[in-house]
Amino acid sequence: MNTKADSTPLLDEQLCFAIYSTSLAMSKVYRPLLTGLGVTYPQYLVLMALWNRDQVTVSEIGSQVFLDSATLTPLLKRMETAGLVERARSARDERQVIVSLTPAGREMQKEAGRIMSSVLCAAQCSEEEALALKDQLVALRNNLEKSIQ
C-alpha cells in the first residue's frame, strides 16, 4: 500500500473505494432479483427488518436499516400503496407511526432464501466466508460510527 505522506493516494489502494465499488456491484446483483418481487433494495431492507420483528415504529425501522425518517416515510408510503405494509398511529403515542406487514408482505419472506442463495452464488463464497466478511464490515462500521459521535 502506498504510504508515503507526500505521494498521491492511489484509487485502488483506498479502503473507502473498495467498499464503495463493492456496494455498487452488490446492488447490481440484487437489482434483478428484487425487480422480480417488485421492490427496491431499501424496501427489501425494511421487509427484512419487519420479518424479524413486526409492528414497530418508523424510528425503530430507521435505526435498523440506517435510514432517516425523511427518507423512510415516502418509502413506506410506496410500500403501503403496493400492499406490503400498513401504517397506523400508535394508541399510546399519536406522534409515533407503527408499521406492520400485510399478508402480501409476509408472503415475500418465502423468496428471501432464494435471494440469499443467488447472492452467495454470485459472490462465489460460502455462507461461512460471507458471515466472516459481514462481521468484519459490521465491526468497521461500528468503529467509524464511534469516531463521528
Q: How far apart are the first and last CA of the chain?
A: 29
Q: Is the pLDDT of residue 14 over 80?
A: yes
Q: Is residue 50 part of a domain?
A: yes
- Render pLDDT for 105-119 as a digit per residue (tens, 0 to 9): 999 999 888 999 999
pLDDT for position 3: 58
Chain centroid offset of residue 35 CA: 16
19's grid cell: 467498499
CA 88 to each of CA 91, 96, 108, 124: distance values in angstroms, whole numbers, following the listed order: 9, 8, 21, 42
Q: Is residue 95 part of a domain?
A: yes
- Find residue 88's DSSP bridge partners: 98
Q: Does residue 60 contact residue 84 with C-beta atoms inside 8 Å?
A: no
142's grid cell: 461500528
Q: Is the pLDDT of residue 59 over 90?
A: yes
Q: Is residue 18 part of a domain?
A: no
Q: Is residue 106 part of a domain?
A: yes
Q: Is residue 94 part of a domain?
A: yes
Q: Is the pLDDT of residue 49 over 80?
A: yes
The whole-model pTM stands at 0.87
For the chain, give the mean pLDDT.
Answer: 93
CA-to-CA distance for 120 and 127, rounded, in angstroms? 7
CATH code: domain of residue 96:
1.10.10.10
Q: Count of domains in the chain?
A: 1
